[in-house]
């Protein structure tokens, strides 16, 4: 007699009985089972149809089980069963699979190990059911191990799908306060705001709240922020006047340091014209220096580094913000390299974004299908075996009247500007290791992604304009920002 273990058993829920059976319910008064109905199936079957719970995302497509039993079990009941194999039916390209199982508590099946061990009449009844009236259907058996493996993989995939769904369904970014009344509410919960900068979110002008909503990643935490009002520049001046710097915010988060400045003030129409963000990960900061500029302004000077060389950048603020700038510099200094540094660093790429290559101006998606197919084939040829595509976006031919379409592709190692092969133009490549900082503009006036990278002894700039409604460019920015930390 075979020696079965708990690993050979599974739990199923009966969906439909194959024969007449009694139905019971729990009586709270007598604290016992009460006969509630006699169930008669609309169509008798040589088995009870069951399913393995939690093997699909919404339980609508759970793994099906044909439970062979001499006495039908009423629908809704849960039973412990033992798989004896998988029954496959193949009709041309169409294939169906069912797990065949027997009740674990029924001793008459103790010697039934495979589907072939069932009585001929019972086995033929299963085959007839699988053929469903077609004599052309090919029937094939698999062992019980295949059934257990199927269930294991289905449950694992369901857990992953649910985790992704919960992640996408998260309505509240980690950095965002829960409402106007959160000030002073300190809870031991990491999903709550945890810094003064996060509590000050609702003190921002409404248009800046919208910019922050669009710009920051949902899992980002704001550590410190410094507001800059619109002001005249102390460094950028001509013979007749000084340049105007628009209102902005310096953000120090756990993922980046950036200055987010609006492009134009809203004026009387209250139109949001968008923002420009200059940024890099805090891990790329080589040095920070806060200096007064005369008596009216202060500068926040950051030097970013790459594997090839540095880039210096200066942001101006009113002189009254100098103490706040020094605090921001103090926080950022914690990321700077130390001798014999053994601190943990982020080293995991983001999960690739699944965004189709799409022209936002196309009336019909099929219009761009040929060029998209050519670009996807070219991308597959260009991407190396040691890199993964994290995000991509389509740069239509009508942008700046270039006359040819491009794909902008961010991988774990490079940023590619890959033209349509039909245009007979060369691909532009930027190594993530050489990138010093990034610039991102999202505006109805002008949107672009700019990459600053060190090459041949100096900082070069790659500016990629894109349509305001285009998808994928913000995701390319996020992918590059994350990979700059890892590499």
For the chain, which domains are there? 6-166 (3.90.80.10), 205-333 (2.30.29.30), 365-486 (2.30.29.30)
CB 285 within 8 A of CB 302: yes
* Mean pLDDT within 179-200: 55
Residue 258 has pLDDT above 60, yes or no: yes
Q: What are phi and psi of 145, to 5 degrees?
A: -60, -35
CB 297 within 8 A of CB 322: no
Residue 185 has pLDDT above 50, yes or no: no
Tell me the C-alpha distance between 391 and 483, whole Å. Answer: 12
pLDDT at residue 348, as a whole number: 81
Q: What is the pLDDT of residues 303-327, one digit of tens each?
A: 999 999 999 999 999 999 999 999 9
Task: Output the DSSP codes for 299-350.
Answer: EEEEEEE-SS-EEEEEEEEEGGGHHHHHHHHHHHHTTS--TT--------PP
The residue assigned the tokens 């507001």 is 227
* Mean pLDDT within 100-114: 91
Quick count: other Cβ atoms within 10 Å of Cβ 438? 24
- Supply angle C-alpha 141, 147, 151, rounded to 5: 150
CB 303 within 8 A of CB 285: yes
pLDDT at residue 205, as a whole number: 80
Structure confidence at residue 170 as a pLDDT band (50, 70, 90) = low
CB 304 within 8 A of CB 286: yes
Structure confidence at residue 401 as a pLDDT band (50, 70, 90) = confident
More confident site: 166 or 98: 98
Tell me the C-alpha distance between 372 and 355, whole Å. Answer: 13
Paired with 242 in beta bridges are 237
Structure confidence at residue 166 as a pLDDT band (50, 70, 90) = low
H helices within 169-278, ranges in order?
A: 196-199, 206-215
Buried/exposed code over 302-333 (b: 16+ C-beta within 10 A; e: otherwise): bebbbebbebebebbbeeebbebbeebbeebe
**Alpha-carbon distances of 281 from 108, 294, 332, 435, rounded to whole Å:** 67, 30, 10, 11
**Alpha-carbon distances of 403 from 103, 135, 246, 420, 425, rounded to whole Å:** 68, 58, 34, 10, 12
Tell me the C-alpha distance between 445 and 243, whole Å. Answer: 20
More confident site: 181 or 450: 450
The residue assigned the tokens 């995939």 is 157
- In a 3-state reduction of DSSP, which class is residue 221? coil
Quick count: other Cβ atoms within 10 Å of Cβ 156? 11
Residue 211 has pLDDT above 90, yes or no: no
Structure confidence at residue 169 as a pLDDT band (50, 70, 90) = low
Q: What is the pLDDT of residues 415-435, one digit of tens each?
A: 999 999 999 999 999 999 999
Closest CA to 302 of 325, 277, 318: 325
Residue 240 has pLDDT above 80, yes or no: no
Q: Tell me which range, 30-39, 214-223, 307-316, is most confidently predicted by mean pLDDT.
A: 307-316
pLDDT at residue 203, as a whole number: 77
Tokens of 165: 């769904």
Residue 180 has pLDDT above 50, yes or no: no
Quick count: other Cβ atoms within 10 Å of Cβ 159? 12
Tokens of 109: 């099946």
User: Residue 19 carries which DSSP code?
Assistant: S
Residue 190 has pLDDT above 50, yes or no: no
Residue 187 has pLDDT above 70, yes or no: no
- Give how far the C-alpha of residue 12 lies from the chain's centroid of Cα atoms, to the nearest Å: 32
Structure confidence at residue 226 as a pLDDT band (50, 70, 90) = very high
- In a 3-state reduction of DSSP, which class is residue 486? helix
pLDDT at residue 189, as a whole number: 46
pLDDT at residue 209, as a whole number: 85
Give Cβ neighbours of residue 135 (< 8 Å, ≥ 6 apart): none
The residue assigned the tokens 């629908």 is 75
Phi-psi region of 310 (alpha: psi -120 to 50; beta: other; left: phi over 0): beta
**Alpha-carbon distances of 262 from 25, 209, 266, 272, rounded to whole Å:** 66, 12, 9, 9
Residue 14 has pLDDT above 50, yes or no: yes
Q: What are phi and psi of 393, to 5 degrees?
A: -155, 155
Tell me the C-alpha distance between 464 and 470, whole Å. Answer: 12
Tell me the C-alpha distance between 246 and 250, whole Å. Answer: 13
* Mean pLDDT within 33-43: 83
Residue 192 has pLDDT above 70, yes or no: no
Task: Tally helices (H) and strands (E) across the chain.
Answer: 7, 24
User: Residue 6 carries which DSSP code?
Assistant: G
Tokens of 329: 């510099």
More confident site: 326 or 77: 326
**Alpha-carbon distances of 452 from 251, 430, 463, 472, rounded to whole Å:** 20, 10, 9, 19
Residue 12 has pLDDT above 80, yes or no: yes
Tokens of 295: 């008596």
Mean pLDDT is lowest, of 133-142, 152-161, 225-234, for 133-142
Paired with 203 in beta bridges are none
Residue 193 has pLDDT above 70, yes or no: no
pLDDT at residue 178, as a whole number: 58
Give Cβ neighbours of residue 405 (< 8 Å, ≥ 6 apart): 359, 368, 371, 375, 394, 395, 396, 397, 419, 420, 423
pTM: 0.65
Closest CA to 82 of 138, 26, 3, 165: 3
């Amino acid at each position: 007699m075979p020696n079965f273990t708990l690993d050979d058993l599974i739990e199923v829920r009966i969906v439909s009985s194959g024969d007449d059976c009694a139905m019971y319910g729990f009586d709270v008064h007598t604290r016992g089972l009460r006969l509630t109905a006699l169930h008669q199936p609309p169509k008798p079957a040589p088995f009870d149809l069951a399913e393995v719970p939690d093997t699909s995302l919404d339980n609508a497509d759970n793994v099906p089980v044909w439970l062979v039993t001499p006495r039908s079990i009423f629908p809704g009941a849960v039973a412990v069963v033992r798989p004896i194999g998988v029954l496959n039916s193949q009709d041309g390209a169409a294939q169906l699979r069912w797990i065949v199982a027997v009740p674990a508590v029924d001793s008459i099946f103790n010697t039934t190990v495979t589907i072939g061990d069932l009585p001929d009449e019972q086995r033929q009844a299963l085959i007839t059911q699988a053929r469903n009236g077609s004599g052309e259907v090919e029937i094939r058996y698999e062992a019980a191990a295949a059934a257990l493996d199927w269930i294991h993989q289905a449950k694992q995939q369901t857990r992953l799908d649910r985790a992704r769904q919960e992640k996408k369904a998260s309505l509240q970014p980690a950095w965002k306060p829960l409402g106007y009344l959160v000030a002073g509410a300190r809870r031991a919960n990491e999903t709550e705001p945890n810094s003064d900068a996060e509590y000050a979110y609702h003190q921002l002008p409404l248009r800046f709240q919208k910019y922050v909503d669009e710009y920051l990643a949902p899992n980002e935490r704001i550590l410190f922020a410094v507001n800059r009002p619109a002001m005249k520049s102390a460094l950028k001046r001509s013979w007749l006047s000084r340049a105007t710097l628009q209102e902005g915010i310096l953000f120090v988060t756990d993922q980046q340091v950036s200055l987010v400045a609006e492009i134009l003030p809203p004026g009387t129409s209250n139109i949001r014209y968008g923002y420009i963000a200059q940024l890099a990960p805090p891990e790329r900061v080589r040095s920070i220096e806060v200096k007064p500029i005369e008596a009216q302004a202060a500068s926040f000077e950051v030097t970013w580094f790459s594997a090839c060389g540095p880039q210096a950048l200066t942001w101006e603020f009113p002189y009254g913000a100098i103490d706040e700038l020094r605090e921001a510099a103090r926080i950022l200094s914690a990321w700077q390299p130390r001798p014999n540094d053994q601190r943990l660093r982020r080293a995991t790429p983001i999960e690739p974004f699944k965004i189709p290559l799409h022209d936002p101006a196309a009336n019909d998606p099929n219009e761009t299908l040929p060029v998209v197919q050519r670009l996807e084939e070219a991308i597959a040829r260009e991407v190396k075996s040691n890199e993964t595509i994290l995000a991509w976006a389509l740069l239509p031919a009508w942008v700046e009247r270039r006359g040819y379409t491009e794909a902008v592709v961010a991988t774990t190692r490079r940023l590619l500007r890959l033209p349509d092969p039909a245009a007979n133009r060369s691909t532009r490549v930027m190594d993530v290791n050489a990138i010093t900082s990034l610039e991102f503009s999202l505006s109805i006036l002008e949107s672009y992604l700019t990459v600053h990278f060190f090459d041949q002894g100096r900082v070069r700039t790659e500016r990629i304009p894109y349509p305001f409604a285009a998808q994928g460019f913000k995701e390319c920015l996020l992918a590059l920002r994350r990979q700059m930390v890892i590499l």
